[in-house]
Copies of this chain bind each other. A is one copy, B any other.
Amino acid sequence: MDDPSTTLLAANQAFYDAFLRRDLAAMDALWARQHPVACIHPGWPALLNRAAIMQSWRQILSSPGAPTIRCAEPTAHLLGDAAFVVCYELLGDARLVATNVFAREDQAWRLVHHQAGPTPAVAGTDDPATTPPPGRRLH
């Protein structure tokens, strides 16, 4: 479990486990305290301080209409004492694509940033010929 990719992907899964269980205390424990943090929920403006981010999770995790969420196809990208994971988020029939950035604090990976946004509902691909769906081509 000391392999950094393994511990990184475990931390990423812990984030989605906390999300699925609507466990605000576990969610709070996963976010960094020694580094500044940021969070971009889909369709929200960027939240740039820890209090605002935790308030957003309180709101999201307590919402009776919150969908169940499952993480799919996570990939680990190590950058020394920082790292990021790219993964899909499956929410019922919807699919989002997410970036989760982590930094090491006290030997553990802690979240410093999360961004999720819409992506096509088809399976992911890194085929160079991939093109965006019509009308979604903002860049």
Contacts and interface: CB of A to CB of B under 8 A. Distances in A.
Nearest to A99: B115
Interface in A56-108: 56, 59-60, 63, 65-67, 69, 75, 77, 79-84, 86, 88-89, 91, 94, 96-97, 99, 101, 103
Contacts of A77: 35-36, 38, 112-113
Contacts of A136: 42-43
A44 B130 contact: yes
Contact of A125 (B45, B89, B120): B45
A27 to B, nearest CB: 12
| Chain A: number of interface residues, binned into ranges | 35 or more
Interface in A17-44: 19, 35-36, 38, 40-44
B40 A91 contact: no
Pick from A56, A82, A97, A101 the residue with the most CB of B within 10 Å: A82
Contact of A40 (B44, B49, B66, B99): B99
Interface of A: 19, 35-36, 38, 40-49, 51-52, 55-56, 59-60, 63, 65-67, 69, 75, 77, 79-84, 86, 88-89, 91, 94, 96-97, 99, 101, 103, 112-113, 115-120, 122, 124-133, 136-139
